[in-house]
Amino acid sequence: MSKEKAILTLDGKRIEFPVVRGTEGDVAIDISKLYEEHHITTFDPSLANTAVCKSTITYIDGDKGILRYRGIPIEQFVTNSPNFVEVAYLLLSGHLPTREEGITFRNRLTENELLNETMRYQFRSVPTSAPPMAQLSASLSNLACFHRDLFVLDTDDEFMDVSAQLISKIRTVAAFIYRRSQGLPYIYPNPNLRYCANFLHMMFSLPYAHHEVSPEVEDALNLILILHADHEQNCSAATVRTVGSSRANVFASCAAGISALWGPLHGGANVEVMEMLDGIHRGGLTPEDCIQMAKDKNNAFRLFGFGHRIYKNYDPRAKILREACDRVFATMKNQNDPLLNIARKLEELALADSYFIDRKLYPNVDFYSGLLLRAMGIPTNMFTVMFAIGRLPGWIAQWKEQHDTIGGRIIRPRQVYVGNTETNYIPVEQRP
């Protein structure tokens, strides 16, 4: 550890802290012993400026709009044929797979693509209109019932095994949830198809007609999943780490991550974006109305798909997706999605408006992802599920890093209590 010290003076006391520096220049003051030694805590609502771990998985520079997985810039994964399975392996293991490792991992995904048949009956009493994210979270929890042998992971092999179970099965579960919502027969996975094509097959094939997936659509789905695969200590990853820090198994921890992702300020924003664009298209609102409403402090409305806690520049994922929309739409029957034009108009208005400029609010990953998913035929209520499929390798990698941290303690933040001071209990007959 570095010998550098940061100094704080409070109530006449001089307190020294170790300084932690990251490989990309992050500087942090280590306050972990502050309470134990001085009975002082730090106040950081929403953990906006608290590093809760050291991590080697994902690097973001929000001012410059940089995102790297294990050091590799995100842009390098999206040229030629984007490969989500390879990115998943990289996040999980820390290195790109050799040819052999890649084959072994792909085979593992194939071997694990089926669900235990009894899993299919778990939602018998749940309405078919139930929110897909509720069903997805419950399904991941339920998977734990079938894999008790993978609660404690002693070896790297067991870790890759549980990872393959989860990453493979989540797409089977997601497709089953969709088919059930439509009253359609379940389509079993096809071991001869690649990860994304297999998912689209389970979503859209019929028992008598295989759904052909064009290379452009397969690439676009790989791209979307890659761009969602990890994003360091966001709300859902922090949830997975927090749950995992109690030594909860990886199934339970990822199920909690899904619940965190569901919220409209996090992964649920991709649904809100589409509803906003659709609302404008149906004529209820104009893009100018949306901008005005988003700026009005008396209105809870937000311009969904805009703004980010970390990015104070264009989200690099949104930039890639914006360009992908052009490519993919050019190859599709439905080349002119009017919602794409509305999105472009909203972006143009926001980026020229001082409210958004001053607050450094740019499009985030959710702004364009829904348009691509819609072009593939994925319904809006499945968008956040698609985000979860992409994010799963990141959550598992974050869980593992937390799990492997030497001396890692249960995550347990503090508070500054501002409630009543000691107050006596009043029997009911004496209460006013």
Catalytic residue annotation: 308, 366
Would you say 266 or 281 has its CB closer to ligand ACO? 266
Contact 57, 91 (CB under 8 A): yes
Residues linked to residue 69 through DSSP beta bridges, in sequence order: 58, 72
What pairs with residue 306 in β-bridges?
363
Given the complex with ligand ACO, which of 106 and 322 has the nearer CB atom?
A: 322
Query: Quick one: 97 or 305, whose CB is closer to ligand ACO?
Result: 305
The nearer residue to ligand ACO, 247 or 360, going by C-beta atoms, is 360
Contact (CB, 8 A) for 406 and 176: no
> Given the structure tokens 């996040």, which residue do they identify?
91
* Dihedral sign of CA atoms 393, 396, 402, 405 in order: negative
Give the residue nearest to ligand ACO (CB): 307
Closer residue to ligand ACO (CB): 15 or 235: 235
Segment (H or E) for 192: none
User: What does the binding site for ligand ACO look like in residue numbers (CB under 6 A)?
Assistant: 265-267, 269, 294, 302-309, 359, 361, 364-366
Alpha-carbon span 151 to 145, nearest angstrom: 10
Residue 205 contacts residue 177 (beta carbons within 8 Å):
no
Bridge partners (DSSP) of residue 309 are: none
- In angstroms, the Cα distances linking 271 to 197, 325, 378 are 23, 17, 12
Q: Check if the beta carbon of residue 394 is closer than 8 Å to that of residue 91.
A: yes
Distance between CA atoms of residues 189 and 112, nearest Å: 10
Neighbour order of strands in the sheet with 58-61: 58-61, 66-69, 72-73
Per DSSP, the residues of 114-146 read: SPPGGGGGTTTTS-TTS-HHHHHHHHHHHHHHH
Say how far apart CA 215 and CA 199 lie, in whole Å. Answer: 14
To ligand ACO, the closest distance from the beta carbon of 176 in angstroms equals 25
What's the CA gap between 345 and 4, in Å, rounded?
50
- Phi, psi for 7 (deg, rounded to 5): -115, 135
- Residue with Cβ nearer ligand ACO (120 or 266): 266
Distance in Å, CB of 145 to ligand ACO, minimum = 30
- CB-nearer residue toward ligand ACO: 240 or 269: 269
